């Protein structure tokens, strides 16, 4: 074999044989010492760098210019600052920077969440689920007949997957049970027993098998003996103690599941062996002894348990838990002896002293034990509390607490208990001493404020103001959220003035003018209201209003709080403050007038409106409120005079509309027609005036002039959807379906994407009997407006068979987001299917979504009339009156009918519910 050419060449510089595969040296048995060392790490790096430079693969690096990564990371303190000391200034700086970062992150939180939500919706729109992509194809399957389904061929196993799975099941192997192995082992053995005459007998069955009666009898006796022993001793089994400890090997965890359940003898024996091994290997581990004793209790052997735990106490005399377990396993007499031994071994164990005290029956003996315990543990707060609780005389308890606070001055609970037992003057001194001992405790200041409130000086002495100054000076000021929690706690315990003082002095702590303080405080107040802490919320609103005295939103929130959770006097007081702070905001004046009219009478409401006129002489809202007040109380002539004056002083379109509506309600259609003619000359672009004109002509039975009014109105205001609807319904009422269809076609050209117009056109075709045309129009409408709940409701209820309602409803709910009409439709379908609980839930969801839709209230009321209780109906009516809905297809038709003028909200609700079908 020819020699390779490279073998004759000299080795390269610094060549080491085997270096490429990681072999840098080896040692054989013949070597007396280690093999020679390979090249050092620096030599290897130098050789590799030199070879790379020769081949031109890499550029040589200048070690002098190499930057160490330790000096580039400011958070890496293993370099320059490795020897620095982390002082309080550094900690304060880190805390301040952390607060700055948290505040900046909180500012951008809403924008970040909104951006993430928009990105998520955009992603879901661009990447729809497979189920949504195939929704249309699934609906198309409804046209497949039964014969076509039956003729579909069965799928073939083209991949062989089914065959392979079947073969795998046939070739599965199972482990042989021990019973089979034991039977095979004993199949060739013969069992014998000794008879009374001394001869051996065998139990041979007819099939040749042999029965070992000796083992069967022994096993039966063993089981019977265990059951009898457990039954006889079950009455004397002591309950396991409450002392808990954790065993690293999990023995206690395994035993905890055994209590209260019958365990087999084999399991108990197995646990017993395990625990015996644990005790023998480490007798100083108290947890093993406790687990072994509890195992015997579970096995029904309390005597063995006591014996084991006694041995455990000998091996672990310093363990509290094992002594407590021993005490719990014995009766009261023996437990006292054991407790004395335990205390002798552990004189400073508070738990053992308390347990020894509980073993005594009379209070005198308990006091004796506790006082002996205090001799050994003078600084135990728990023992002093037990001693105070045992005292029946207040003076003795005060003396004990005074001594306890001297020995344990850092105990907050003891100081507060002493202050509660002292007289008011002494309580102040006690709290002053406590503040000196515990300068960082804000609870002491709150206790002082509550003390002043009890003395009737809660508003005079600025305790909380001084507390804030003192705690801030001590750098122990709690966070704003903690102060709110303390205020709610005071409110819960009846200290309302202290609650208000806490909020007043601490709500603005830590907030700058740059922060959105008003939103934060309103959010805090809403959170307190949700927790039923109304006094705290009232104090938050009061403080916020002092900072923002002209904020309408704050006054509105405070008024809502008083209306829902306060008294009438509180509500009037809040409204009076609101009209004083915002005299040109008519809403507050109208609220005050409405409340005064409901509770104090018409005269008080007139005085409020008179004050409102002085502040807002040209306000149409106040004029109309005055007219409504007079009309509702039967002063028709006075209301008419007010409207006449309002048309002169505040000639707005609303005033003219209210004048026309007032005359219609009184049945004077000629005067109403004259007024609407004058109003249209002033406001020809107001669609409501054209609608009123056409409705007046309809009431008079003059369809021609009514048609002319609607026709002129849609030319003047082509974007008014209600005007187009009235025009179409007039033509349909006159049996001119073609004309009605033409009107709606023109309306759809003027307002292209209007669900109301499309729905009305579909209804016109459906009422005319053109169901196929209605379905075709519905398909076009849904293609243009797939998220219209009104269109989906019309299709589900009136155009499709009942069998397809649920599938269509599921598809509509996925496409339409938060539409009350669709939710009411779902509730009506469930109602028809007698799923009453689910239907009620959907009605309530619709109300939560939009409370201003009156049709939802009416449908829910109709549902409760049939399936609800009287209490539930009354609650619904009360909520509806409070909300006072103004919208809804049927609601507006009934509420604005001149015949129903002056009816209250509850009456309108019942009328609308009667018209629904």
pLDDT at 773: 92
Helix (H, G, I), strand (E, B) or coil at 203: strand
Q: For residues 737 and 726, give the distance between their C-alpha atoms in angstroms, rounded to a whole number.
A: 14
Name which of 156-160, 595-599, 860-864 the model is least confident about.
156-160
Q: For residues 388 and 97, give the distance between their C-alpha atoms in angstroms, rounded to a whole number.
A: 47
pLDDT at 775: 92
Q: What is the mean pLDDT of residues 412-417?
A: 81
**Tens-place pLDDT, residues 644-683:** 888 888 888 888 988 898 888 888 888 889 999 999 999 9
Name which of 134-148, 464-478, 786-800 the model is least confident about.
134-148
pLDDT at 548 over 80: yes
pLDDT at 370: 81
Q: What is the mean pLDDT of residues 853-859?
A: 93
User: For the purposes of burial, counting CB atoms within 10 Å of the CB of 655, is it exposed (0-12), middle (13-18) or buried (19 or more)?
Assistant: buried
Full strand arrangement of the beta sheet holding 200-204: 192-194, 200-204, 210-211
Number of helices and strands in the chain (H, E): 49, 3
Short-list 881, 278, 386, CA closest to 598? 881
Q: What is the mean pLDDT of residues 474-497?
A: 87
pLDDT at 175: 67
pLDDT at 68 over 60: no
pLDDT at 28 over 90: no
Q: What is the mean pLDDT of residues 543-557?
A: 90
Confidence category of residue 217, pLDDT binned at 50, 70, 90 = low
Q: For residues 724 and 721, give the distance between their C-alpha atoms in angstroms, rounded to a whole number.
A: 5
Q: What is the mean pLDDT of residues 109-125?
A: 85
Q: ∠ at Cα 560 (557, 564), nearest 5°?
A: 145
pLDDT at 310 over 60: yes
pLDDT at 332: 82
pLDDT at 248: 40
Q: What is the mean pLDDT of residues 269-293?
A: 85
Name beta bridge partners: 192: 202
pLDDT at 369: 84
Q: What is the mean pLDDT of the chain?
A: 80
Q: What is the mean pLDDT of residues 36-54?
A: 72
pLDDT at 392: 79
Q: ∠ at Cα 490 (488, 493), nearest 5°?
A: 110
pLDDT at 5 over 80: no
pLDDT at 825 over 90: yes
Q: For residues 117 and 625, give the distance between their C-alpha atoms in angstroms, rounded to a whole number.
A: 43
Q: For residues 342 and 320, give the distance between their C-alpha atoms in angstroms, rounded to a whole number.
A: 8
With b meaning 16 or more CB within 10 Å and e meaning fewer, what string describes 404-430?
Answer: bbeebeebeebbbbbbebbeeeebbeb
Q: Which of 36-45, 327-336, 693-702 holds the top average pLDDT?
A: 693-702
pLDDT at 648: 85
pLDDT at 811 over 50: yes
Name which of 391-395, 568-572, 913-917 the model is least confident about.
391-395
Q: ∠ at Cα 529 (586, 511), nearest 5°?
A: 85
Confidence category of residue 693, pLDDT binned at 50, 70, 90 = very high
> Tokens 């589900």 sit at which residue?
796
Q: What is the model's pTM?
A: 0.56
pLDDT at 257 over 60: no
Residue 177 region by backbone torsions, left for phi larger than 0, else alpha for psi between -120 and 50, else beta:
beta
Name which of 125-134, 345-354, 602-611, 839-848 the model is least confident about.
125-134
pLDDT at 858: 93
Q: What is the mean pLDDT of residues 756-776?
A: 92
pLDDT at 723: 93
Confidence category of residue 865, pLDDT binned at 50, 70, 90 = very high
Confidence category of residue 460, pLDDT binned at 50, 70, 90 = low
Residue 190 region by backbone torsions, left for phi larger than 0, else alpha for psi between -120 and 50, else beta:
beta
Name which of 189-193, 360-364, 708-712, 836-840 the model is least confident about.
189-193
Share of the chain above pLDDT 90, in %: 23
Name which of 59-73, 78-92, 475-489, 669-683 the model is least confident about.
59-73
pLDDT at 26: 52
Confidence category of residue 206, pLDDT binned at 50, 70, 90 = very low
Torsion sign (Cα): 666, 667, 672, 674:
negative
Q: For residues 823 and 839, give the distance between their C-alpha atoms in angstroms, rounded to a whole number.
A: 10
pLDDT at 173: 62
CB 818 within 8 A of CB 845: no
pLDDT at 13 over 60: yes
Distance of CA 247 to the CA centre of its chain: 37
Q: In the chain, what are the domains?
A: 265-420 (1.25.40.10)
pLDDT at 161: 66
More confident residue, 44 or 258: 44
Name which of 350-354, 420-424, 796-800 the model is least confident about.
420-424
pLDDT at 743: 93
Confidence category of residue 62, pLDDT binned at 50, 70, 90 = very low
Q: For residues 679 and 652, give the distance between their C-alpha atoms in angstroms, rounded to a whole number.
A: 9
More confident residue, 393 or 229: 393
Q: How many residues does the chain have?
A: 917
């Amino acid at each position: 074999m020819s020699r390779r050419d490279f073998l004759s060449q000299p080795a390269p510089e610094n060549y080491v044989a085997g270096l490429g595969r990681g072999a840098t040296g080896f040692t054989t048995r013949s070597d007396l010492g280690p093999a020679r060392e390979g090249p050092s790490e620096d030599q290897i790096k130098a050789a590799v760098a030199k070879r790379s430079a020769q081949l031109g693969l890499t550029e040589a690096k200048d070690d002098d210019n190499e930057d160490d990564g330790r000096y580039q990371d400011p958070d890496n303190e293993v370099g320059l600052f490795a020897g620095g000391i982390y002082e309080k200034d550094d900690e304060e700086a880190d805390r301040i920077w952390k607060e700055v970062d948290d505040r900046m992150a909180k500012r951008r939180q809403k924008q970040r969440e909104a951006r993430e939500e928009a990105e998520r919706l955009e992603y879901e729109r661009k990447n729809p689920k497979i189920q949504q992509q195939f929704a249309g194809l699934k609906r198309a399957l409804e046209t497949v007949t039964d014969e076509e389904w039956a003729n579909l061929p069965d799928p073939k196993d083209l991949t062989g997957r089914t065959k392979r799975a079947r073969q795998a099941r046939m070739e599965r192997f199972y482990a042989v049970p021990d019973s089979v192995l034991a039977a095979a082992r004993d199949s060739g053995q013969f069992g014998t027993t000794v008879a009374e005459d001394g001869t051996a007998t065998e139990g041979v069955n007819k099939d040749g098998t042999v029965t070992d009666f000796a083992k069967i009898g022994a096993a039966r006796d063993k089981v019977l003996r265990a059951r009898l022993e457990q039954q006889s001793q079950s009455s004397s089994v002591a309950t396991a103690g409450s002392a808990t400890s954790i065993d690293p090997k999990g023995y206690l965890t395994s035993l905890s599941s055994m209590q209260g359940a019958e365990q087999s003898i084999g399991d108990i024996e197995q646990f017993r062996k395990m625990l015996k091994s644990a005790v023998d290997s480490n007798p100083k581990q108290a947890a093993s002894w406790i687990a072994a004793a509890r195992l015997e209790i579970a096995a029904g052997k309390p005597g063995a348990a006591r014996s084991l735990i006694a041995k455990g106490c000998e091996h672990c005399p310093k363990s509290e838990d094992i002594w407590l377990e021993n005490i719990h396993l014995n009766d009261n007499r023996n437990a006292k002896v054991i407790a004395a031994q335990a205390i002798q071994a552990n004189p400073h164990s508070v738990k053992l002293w308390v347990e020894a005290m509980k073993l005594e029956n009379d209070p005198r003996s308990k006091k004796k034990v506790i006082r002996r315990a205090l001799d050994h543990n003078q600084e135990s707060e728990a023992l002093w509390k037990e001693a105070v609780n045992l005292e029946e005389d207040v003076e003795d308890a005060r003396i004990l607490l005074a001594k306890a606070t001297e020995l344990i001055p850092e105990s907050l609970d003891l100081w507060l208990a002493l202050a509660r037992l002292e007289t008011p003057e002494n309580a102040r001194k006690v709290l002053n001493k406590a503040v000196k001992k515990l300068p960082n405790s804000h609870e002491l200041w709150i206790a002082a404020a509550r003390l002043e409130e009890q003395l009737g000086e809660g508003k005079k002495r600025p305790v909380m103001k001084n507390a804030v100054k003192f705690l801030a000076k001590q750098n122990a000021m709690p966070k704003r959220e903690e102060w709110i929690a303390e205020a709610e706690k005071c409110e819960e315990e009846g200290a309302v003035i202290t609650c208000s003082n806490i909020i007043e002095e601490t709500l603005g702590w830590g907030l700058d003018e740059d922060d959105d303080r008003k939103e934060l405080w309103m959010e805090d107040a809403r959170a307190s209201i949700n927790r039923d802490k109304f006094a705290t919320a009232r104090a938050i609103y009061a403080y916020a209003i002092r900072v923002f005295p002209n904020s309408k939103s704050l006054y509105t929130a405070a008024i809502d709080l008083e209306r829902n959770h306060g008294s009438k006097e509180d509500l009037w007081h809040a409204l009076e403050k609101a009209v004083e702070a915002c005299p040109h905001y008519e809403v507050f004046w109208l609220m005050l007038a409405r409340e005064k009219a409901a509770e104090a009478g018409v005269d008080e409401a007139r005085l409020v409106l008179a004050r409102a006129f002085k502040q807002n002489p040209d306000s149409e809202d106040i004029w109309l409120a005055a007219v409504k007040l007079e009309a509702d109380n039967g002063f028709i002539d006075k209301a008419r005079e007010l409207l006449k004056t309002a048309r002169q002083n505040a000639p707005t379109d609303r005033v003219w509309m209210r004048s026309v509506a007032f005359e219609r309600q009184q049945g004077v259609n000629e005067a109403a027609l004259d007024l609407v003619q004058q109003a249209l000359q002033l406001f020809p672009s107001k669609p409501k005036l054209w609608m009123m004109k056409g409705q007046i002509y309809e009431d008079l039975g003059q369809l021609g002039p009514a048609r002319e009014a609607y026709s002129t109105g849609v030319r003047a205001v082509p974007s008014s959807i209600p005007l187009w609807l009235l025009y179409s319904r007039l033509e349909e009422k006159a049996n001119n379906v073609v004309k009605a269809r033409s009107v709606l076609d023109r309306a759809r050209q003027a307002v292209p994407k209007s669900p109301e117009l499309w729905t009305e056109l579909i209804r016109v075709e459906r009422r005319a009997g053109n169901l196929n045309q209605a379905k075709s129009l519905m398909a076009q409408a849904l293609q243009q407006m797939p998220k219209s709940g009104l269109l989906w409701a019309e299709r589900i209820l009136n155009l499709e068979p009942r069998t397809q309602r649920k599938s269509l409803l599921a598809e509509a709910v996925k496409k339409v987001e938060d539409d009350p009409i669709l939710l009411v439709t779902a509730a009506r379908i469930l109602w028809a299917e007698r799923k009453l609980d689910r239907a009620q839930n959907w009605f309530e969801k619709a109300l939560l979504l939009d409370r201003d839709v009156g049709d939802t209230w009416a449908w829910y009321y109709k549902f409760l009339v049939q399936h609800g209780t009287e209490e539930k109906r009354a609650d619904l009516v009360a909520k509806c009156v409070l909300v006072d809905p103004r919208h809804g297809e049927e609601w507006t038709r009934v509420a604005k009918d001149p015949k129903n003028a002056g009816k209250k909200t509850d009456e309108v609700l019942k009328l609308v519910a009667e018209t629904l079908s």
